[in-house]
Structure 1
Amino acid sequence: MLIRIDPASEDPIFAQVAASVRADAATGRLRPGDRLPSARDVADALGVNLHTVLRAYQDLRDEGLVDMRRGRGAVVTDAATPLAQLYDDIAALARRARALGLSPDTLASLVKEHR
């Protein structure tokens, strides 16, 4: 598993880490039962503070995407399955928006209106 961040992004690092894990779950690269790398390993690999990664993992836990247990680490839950099921729908929507000439920002705004 490769967690990606963009140091130039205005998004907080913890949010980027969580988004990277969500994206891997949505694309099927992470499946229920898969273990995430230890927070310490991620922090070392990215050159960020351990607490930054722990906050990302806690946010994912609060969303129900991962289960955190002592001795087991962070494990992907069954909540990853619906994300993966939606991925194809989202990809189709993005293709349709591109075909209609809509920008990604416009599409994102339309999606946000339908919360």
Structure 2
Amino acid sequence: MQVRYLEIANRIRREIHRRHLAPGTRLPVARQLAAQFGANENTVLRALRLLRSEGVLDFGRGRAVTVRHPLPEQQLAALEEVRAVLTNALRAGSSRQHILAVLDEVARAPDRPPV
């Protein structure tokens, strides 16, 4: 079973990927999204912050949250694979600190392709 904020983030991500939410579309406020998803407002905000950190959403002035241009299919698939591996590592007992250290190590690898 997936963590609730990840489930919400995945649902929003799918809507963007399927072009049901076009770039520039303004999302409803967190309270409305919470009612729509049947979740706590803080859970929705956590999902939105995750999507912002991935470059999927922009946070504007006030409460404005808009959809950015979607990531290419290959990047989306790769991020989904990473998310599944991280979820499995957490379930297996890996600490957040250890996972972040591994991510940092991979990101700093000299053979890492340019972004």
- The answer to whether residue 72 in structure 2 is matched with residue 82 in structure 1 is yes
Aligned residues between the structures? 77
Cα shift at 1:74: 0.9
Distance of aligned partners of 1:81 and 1:30 in 2 relative to their CA distance in 1, 3 Å threshold: farther
Identity in percent: 36
Stretch moving more, 30-39 or 40-49: 40-49
Structure 1: give runs of 5+ residues left out of the alignment.
1-9, 91-107
Cα shift at 1:46: 2.7
Aligned-CA RMSD value:
2.1
- Give the corresponding residue for 1:30: 21
Q: TM-score, normalised by structure 2?
A: 0.58
Distance of aligned partners of 1:28 and 1:81 in 2 relative to their CA distance in 1, 3 Å threshold: farther
- Give the corresponding residue for 2:30: 39
CA distance in 2, matches of 1:30, 1:52: 20
Q: TM-score, normalised by structure 1?
A: 0.58
Verify the 8 A CA contact 1:33 1:76 in the aligned structure 2.
Answer: yes
Verify the 8 A CA contact 1:32 1:81 in the aligned structure 2.
Answer: no
CA distance in 2, matches of 1:63, 1:81: 9
- Give the corresponding residue for 2:111: none
Structure 2: give runs of 5+ residues left out of the alignment.
86-115
CA distance in 1, matches of 2:37, 2:11: 13
Q: Secondary structure at the match of 1:67?
A: strand
